[in-house]
Structure 1
Amino acid sequence: MFTDTEGIIFKQVKTVNGRRMVLLFSKKFGKISAGANISEKGKSKSSLAMRPFTYGRYELFKNRDSYHINSAEVIKSYYRIGEDVDKYMHSSYALELTEKLLQEEEPAPGIFRMILDFFDIMEKRNKKYLTLILAYQIKLLQETGSMPHVRNCVLCGGKEEPAFFSVKDGGIVCSSCRSNIHDIANDTLIYSVNFGIVNILQYILDNPLKSFENLALNDEIQKQLGRIIRSYLAYHLDISELKSESFLNI
């Protein structure tokens, strides 16, 4: 069966006889693996659509258990991201994190639209790339239904002043419930928080990613929020030590 879909290439691996195996985030089918005979180093319109940070349209042949990319064309190239090392590294992390969160052949139109919004913002941005990464991480968790509870205490449901963020419990814990958490001082999955951190989390959750073009968190907030989100991803989704993460200060 022949079909086509918009998509973004996560990665590709050379195999034999000039063939490649491509991991494609397709709008229609979700994350799929597909064979291809198209090289990203060529100058044809299909080759250009195989390059990193390219939003393309891909013509596929689909049989019972595999896909093959017959041709491709560029819808939009985010080539400026590839021209800046910092933008490239941060965007590579966003792609790798997205790939790890997605299941094979499960369409995720909200996340597809969001990664394009991420590229749009990153291409224009000239500072505070980590702020954008943090916002993207939080919005990804929201899209996948994995977001922690930040609007009330995860233990009692109350809306008192937050005292801690408990990674194990999956959200904020109020002052009244702090006695229910054992060995707070030595628990590395519990973080002290205040209304500032909680308000930032709520603000990001309540607004689309594309509205954060000028959002810039101070360095201390970035560090604290980054530690919480990294621990949360590792504990609840088993996502840690991504290859691209080693090049970033997150």
Structure 2
Amino acid sequence: MGSEIEAETKSNIINKPRFLCLHGFRTSAHILKTQMGKWPDSVLDRLDLVFLDAPFPAQGKSEVDGIFDPPYYEWFQFDQEFMEYRNLDECFAFIQDYMIKHGPFDGLLGFSQGAILSAALPSLQAAGVALTKVPKIKFLIIISGASFRSEKVADKAYSSPTKCPSLHFLGETDFLKPYGTKLLESFVDPFVVHHPRGHTIPRLDEKGMVTVTNFIEKIYKEVDAACKEGNTEIAAV
């Protein structure tokens, strides 16, 4: 009898949603993890966050030099107009290889360059351009994000609205705010946190906490529903 109760209890446990976290341009996984420490434990304890260094060493000066110690990394390279990209396919392959070896992952969390990648990957995955060998991305957290501007990427990344639950952070003085605001049009019913800071991981004020909590509750409800329906792709969080 005791073993039956234990088995039933285990079947009702929902594991934490697992997010692969992609850092900003010329920073690192360690830096993003440190920055995320601004968020309260009541949020962080409900998410399983895995931090990954980008594949390429920084090819120029980092904006955080003198604030955070090196080494610094970048996900891909781009021209001044952000219209041409180098090593983007290699970046996709690098992320997929990590997800195969260390997954499964349920969502992506990205900041700055990592947010640009994260926001585009679900649609690129659906179009067969990236992450074709791993389970689909189901949740997104986008901090200081923007869109790819090249038509070659944009046509596949934003041709139809992304339906997976997404949480977006827009800083009042962030130089990417106009682009992050425009990015919202590519998502269905996004959760949005507005904060007074610039290009950074913000602390969560009372209003922001409500939005973040509601987003996390939505994730858990979807996972719970998937478990009850026997959808192992989502249930195996």
TM range (shorter): under 0.3
Task: Compute the TM-score of the two structures, normalised by the length of structure 2.
Answer: 0.22
| Greater percentage in strand | 1
User: Over alpha carbons, which structure has the higher Rg?
Assistant: 1
Bigger relative contact order (CA 8 A; separation at least 6): 2
Task: Compute the TM-score of the two structures, normalised by the length of structure 1.
Answer: 0.21
